[in-house]
Amino acid sequence: MENKNEFAFGRKNYLFMIVGLVVLAIGFIIMTLDAEPYGEGFMGITLGPIILVIGFIIEFFAIMVKDRKKA
């Protein structure tokens, strides 16, 4: 019988998820800090979205990585 108090992911997964969420938040904040109107400068169109993509990659990795303790 399975232990019902077990989480779906391990500690490593949750740490990566938190890091990914922080990176996503930083990406959105960078996009709002652009001085150009409507966020059409370098920070709003280039740097912010690149940081967001990195954050989503970290989140994908956090979901897909297998925790060694859970295996």
Q: Secondary structure of the chain in the HEC alphabet? A: CCCCCCCCCCHHHHHHHHHHHHHHHHHHHHHHCCCCHHHCCHHHHHHHHHHHHHHHHHHHHHHHCCCCCCC
Give the pLDDT confidence of 33-46 residue by residue, as tens digits: 999 998 899 999 99
- Judged against a pLDDT cut of 90, whether residue 51 lies above it is answered with yes
| Nearest in space to 50 (alpha carbons), one of 24, 22, 19, 32 | 24
Give the pLDDT confidence of 4-24 residue by residue, as tens digits: 667 788 899 999 999 999 999
Give the confidence band of 69 by pLDDT, cuts at 50, 70, 90: low
pLDDT at 9: 87
